Structure 1
Amino acid sequence: MRIKVFIITVIAVMLLLTSFSSFGSTAGPKLVVNGTQLSTDAKLIGGRVYAPVRAISQSLGADAAWDSSKNTVTVTSLKNDDIVPEVLKSVSPSVVGVIGSLKDSDYSSKFKDSIAHGTGVIIKSDGEILTNAHVVKDMERIVAVLADGSGYEAELKYIDEDSDLALIKINKTGLKAARFGKPEDIITGKTVMAIGTPVSLSLRNSASIGIISGINRGIESDYRLIQTDAAINPGNSGGPLVNLKGEVMGINSSKFSGTGIEGLGFSIPVGTVNYVLSHFYKYGKVKRPDLGVVFEEDWAAKIGLPSNSGLTISTVNDDSGSKKAGLQDGDVLLSVNSVRVNSNVDYNEEMKKYLPDNTVILKIKRKDAILNINVVLSEK
């Protein structure tokens, strides 16, 4: 196994590992490693920045060990081809195949014997499994196949087609739940792995590796998606996109396919996953607020280009809070509570912050006038 080892002398160890209490109480500099700001103390002393070795090494996927007898810190960093097998070994027990018989529908005709499959992620040790809504919505009998090949009938607990997420439950305890990462760690260029059940159940827990190719993608979704070039094939839907720490950064959901198209897969980011799960547990569904209007994007937003034109209101529903507040057809929504919205995805992302019956302040452009209008949100 190829391992990089670095030895740090006792002088550096004393500076980096001792308590910083003697250095004063002033706020230290921010410490950013590979684009991620670390939540750790760093001190500027004599024109040099000092920070804990362990914090930096862990952020790089390395390990730091202190040998007091030798007054030495050893930092061990594994290369990708050493890390990937460990990540796969760690995450695979939390990944399941999802199989079921389909209801009579046009969708079922695409599958032999009306049997379809996808992937799921164990999120609680008592048998709760997260997957895509499109995987299970037409299934009459759902079976979750664990990494060891054992199968358990599953009950559909919650489903939300707008986000394409669903939660199923099996009667099994002692399972290994996946660890979820932080939304702020979704950074373009970072290495990720897609794990799932492509094409056939015999290929369950297959892995592909790539990078995060882009973030904030609004492709065929109400919410922003992660773009990755890690291979996502039919059956991978509902499986995890994990980083090299083994943390779930997204739930694989779709891909672009066709002649000349390669490496265009999309995952639901962990921020949206957390939002949907919190609503599942609190309300049994996602309680989405609604303005009661129909928006029209400008041409730039429609084709995915940056836009700063806001959203034009083409229709105001008669029984909506917007109608009562005086919004009109042709008004242009510029912001919600001072947050700019220039596309339907921008609007939906902002609405995650609110519940029905909340009041928001809308900045509206009406011809040459700018208005601030309070609107009570209804439920979508």
Structure 2
Amino acid sequence: MKKRYLVLLVATVLLLSFSFIVSGATQFKLSINGISTDIGTATVNNKIYVDAEALANQLGFNASKTSKSINISTKNDDIIPNIIKSISPSVVGIIGNIDSGDSTAGGVALGTGIIIKSGGDILTNAHVVEAMSRIVVVLTDGTGYQARIKYIDKPSDLAVIKIDKIGLTAATLGKMQDIVIGKTAIAIGTPMSFQNRNSASVGVISGLNRSADGFYQYKLIQTDAAINPGNSGGPLLTTKGEVIGINSMTTVNAQGLSYAIPIDTVQYVLNHFYKYGKVKRVTMGAEFEEDYVALYGLPSRNGLKITSIDKGSCAEKYGLKKDDFIYSINGVYVNTLVDLNEAYKSVLPGNKVKVGVRRNGKVQSVNVVVDELK
């Protein structure tokens, strides 16, 4: 692995609250911790009945049933091993030669990946594979396959590699609503040595919407993970065994400060990969100065200051000027370049965006048709 590493987490207790929301005379919607579910309910003799197996699965518990009984286990000692057992066929080790361009240097690097398509597509970090001259993927059963880079996007640090193998077990991708501070998270990877493939760690989600200045252009999940080289590209999982992040980096000289790429960024990049063959990003053709208050994590709505505008750019075309402050994109406040990139995730080249501008103390909105970032 190169300069970034991966993931682990620390156990927590699941606190649950249930609510039934009336949506009709006898129709009820089951919510857990305020989050709506698709679990079916039935009303019989003024009592509400819930599918016990579906409820257990929703909570990440282990349910086993016979024709006459059902047993639900809420112990981590039962839940987590079953999750690891079920996800392990979808987790791969990645190893390859590093071509440094120097005949006296080079070596071998390793990382982790997660199978996302049964036909051989594997998601990992771009920094794991970008410098590999030969990539080998090793499945959980120990069989190895040569891989090639299918898609790679350095700004998001995500890549899809491909092996010629069908019938693989693809992981299930989760949802952003499943990423909650304090919830249990499970990380699987290849720490330190290739003989440690599919090592598992358990912890919590420590924070959301984190920035890693100079390393990542999008917001990250913070975990209390104990990180080791080789975990990069591995999955961060919920107690339902769903992927909510791709483990990517840690903080040097700090304890328990590690980061994963959240599932919304993963989905954004994958959608572009499979639709366009690359991530189609947008630009206004301007350079910005970030709000230093926001960079320190303090509340601010000062916005981004325009320091220069490219000749012939859409910023010039639609009347934006040097020293303008851009404070929002389509109603979303932006104070840092990470904020701006996040706001751009829902925008394609040629789309019209509503830009909130503050000029000489006066606020106005400007509609800008954005260009594609080349």
TM class, shorter-length: 0.7 to 0.9
| 1:272-301 CA-partner distances (Å, limit 9, x unpaired) | 111101111111110001111112121221
Shift of the 45–373 alpha-carbon distance from structure 1 to 2, 3 Å rule, reads farther
Q: Map of 1:254-293 to 2, 5 A cutoff?
A: 254-258=249-253, 261-293=254-286
| 1:110-150 CA-partner distances (Å, limit 9, x unpaired) | xxx51111111111111111110001111111111111111
Q: 1:300 aligns with which of 279, 285, 293?
A: 293
What's the TM-score once normalised by structure 2's chain length?
0.86
Preserved contact between residue 194 and residue 231 of structure 1 (Cα < 8 Å): no
Shift of the 281–376 alpha-carbon distance from structure 1 to 2, 3 Å rule, reads same
- Report what 1:60 is aligned to: 59
What's the TM-score once normalised by structure 1's chain length?
0.85
C-alpha distance in structure 2 between counterparts of 1:209 and 1:131, whole Å: 20
- Report what 1:235 is aligned to: 230
Give how far 1:68 is off.
Answer: 9.1
Give how far 1:368 is off.
Answer: 2.2
Give how far 1:67 is off.
Answer: 8.8
Percent identity of equivalent pairs: 51
Q: Map of 1:1-380 to 2, 5 A cutoff?
A: 24=25, 31-34=30-33, 36-40=35-39, 50=48, 52-54=50-52, 55-62=54-61, 74=70, 76-105=72-101, 109=105, 114-220=107-213, 221-258=216-253, 261-380=254-373
C-alpha distance in structure 2 between counterparts of 1:360 and 1:33, whole Å: 36
Give how far 1:102 is off.
Answer: 1.1
Q: Secondary structure at the match of 1:92?
A: helix
Shift of the 349–86 alpha-carbon distance from structure 1 to 2, 3 Å rule, reads same
Preserved contact between residue 125 and residue 176 of structure 1 (Cα < 8 Å): yes
Preserved contact between residue 65 and residue 71 of structure 2 (Cα < 8 Å): no
Shift of the 171–371 alpha-carbon distance from structure 1 to 2, 3 Å rule, reads same
C-alpha distance in structure 2 between counterparts of 1:329 and 1:50, whole Å: 62
Give how far 1:65 is off.
Answer: 8.0
User: Which structure has the larger Rg?
Assistant: 1
C-alpha distance in structure 2 between counterparts of 1:85 and 1:59, whole Å: 17
- What letter is aligned with 1:99? I
Give how far 1:203 is off.
Answer: 0.6
Give how far 1:43 is off.
Answer: 9.4
- What letter is aligned with 1:38? T
C-alpha distance in structure 2 between counterparts of 1:336 and 1:323, whole Å: 17
| 1:38-76 CA-partner distances (Å, limit 9, x unpaired) | 245679999x9946243543332236789997xxx7561
| 1:128-183 CA-partner distances (Å, limit 9, x unpaired) | 11110001111111111111111111011110000000010011111111111111
- What letter is aligned with 1:115? V
Aligned residues: 349
Preserved contact between residue 285 and residue 315 of structure 2 (Cα < 8 Å): yes
Shift of the 232–65 alpha-carbon distance from structure 1 to 2, 3 Å rule, reads closer
Identify unmatched segments of 5+ residues in structure 2: 1-19
Q: Secondary structure at the match of 1:263?
A: coil
Shift of the 306–42 alpha-carbon distance from structure 1 to 2, 3 Å rule, reads farther
Give how far 1:346 is off.
Answer: 1.6
Shift of the 45–217 alpha-carbon distance from structure 1 to 2, 3 Å rule, reads farther
C-alpha distance in structure 1 between counterparts of 2:285 and 2:47, whole Å: 53
Q: Which has the higher helix share?
A: 1
